[in-house]
Amino acid sequence: MARHAHEFQCTECGYWNYPMLDEGMSGNYTVRCGHCQHDHYRVITSGVVTEDRHSAKYGGVAEVIHVMPSACSKDKRRLGAIAQFRQLVAAGLVK
């Protein structure tokens, strides 16, 4: 399976996190900020972090994804075209 960078901003410290996620990942995951270690309880769909919080639909214990400090940045980075497209699809803006 292919891995792609995804971005999200930590609501605790404001840093941008760029974990590499496998496109086969779907379900409840806890994503830990690489800067301040704040936990984000999110649903991941096809390797893309969504804004949805953990859902009973997926059940079970959520796997914790530790974002490496080197995959964090105070300033937003420019993502490649594929990563940008995958985020638009996950947001339902493109089919």
- Residue 1: per-residue pLDDT: 60
Structure tokens, 45: 């769909």
Residue 80 burial (10 A CB sphere; 0-12, 13-18, 19+): exposed
Round to the nearest angstrom and report the end-to-end CA distance of the chain.
21
- Residue 7: per-residue pLDDT: 84
Tens digits of per-residue pLDDT, 50-85? 888 898 888 777 899 999 999 999 988 777 777 777
Q: Which of 42, 65, 66, 40 is nearest to 55 (CA)?
A: 42
Residue 32: what residue type?
Answer: R
- Which pTM does this prediction carry? 0.77
